[in-house]
Amino acid sequence: MGDGFQFYDIILLALIAGFILLRLRNTLGKRSGFERPPTPPGGERDEAGRAGQGDNVIALPGAEAPSEDDKLPAEAARAVGEIRAVDPGFEVDEFLSGARAAYEMVVAAFAQGDLDTLRGLLSNEVFANFAGAIEARDRAGEKLETTLVGIDAAELIEGSVRGRMAELTVRFASAMISVTRDAQGQAIDGDPKATRKVIDVWTFGRNLKSSDPNWSLIATRSEDA
């Protein structure tokens, strides 16, 4: 008798489990209305522009912090517009953030003689110049010690698009401690205790038709701080 009741209990539990599973499948197949649709290229920018529509919020003039786009010289702004015609997702803020990171990496890699890192960040011509300087330093038995204290500013100052090639020029203002030592470890250039201001103007290039979204350093020059 007990076995019979146990058999019916098993059937009842199976029916209940099947009902719950069916309801669960139906629920999971429905959209709740809170899912975000796929964002097209540049869609984050469009969505941000629509934020607040339908809300009872009055946008005050000047309430939003200006973006880097608002600070661009005319030539750079024109180049950015041409780049966005090909790459709608291009953002100046993101580009400058990447340029800062590249600046830090190149400065460190050059001091350390890290050719592998430099090769991935520089154009062939700039890489050849950097590699030649590192080779000459090694032949002389010299060592470069550089500490990047910080980047005070990174501004997009120039830009151009010629055919499929885009170029953007960034002016970096940084603080560094830099000293060159000879084979005996004596400082022959620079002061290991002094922080100096450095102004570097770097130009980055990119083929807009390439599937590779990365920019390469294609030219460098320095200015008096």
The pLDDT tens digits for 155-172 are: 999 999 999 999 999 999
Give the pair of three-digit tokens for residue 85.
């015609």
The pLDDT tens digits for 202-223 are: 999 999 999 999 999 999 999 9
Q: Name residue, tokens 């669960």.
A: 24
The pLDDT tens digits for 29-84 are: 333 222 333 333 444 444 444 444 444 444 444 445 556 677 899 999 999 999 99
Do 172 and 153 form a contact (C-beta atoms < 8 A)? yes
**How many other C-beta atoms lie within 10 A of the C-beta of residue 87?**
15
CA dist 52 and 59 (Å) reads 8
Q: CA triplet 60, 42, 208: central angle to 5 degrees?
A: 130
What pLDDT does residue 38 have?
39
Kindly report the CATH class assigned to 71-223: alpha beta
CA dist 176 and 194 (Å) reads 8
Paired strand residues for 33: none
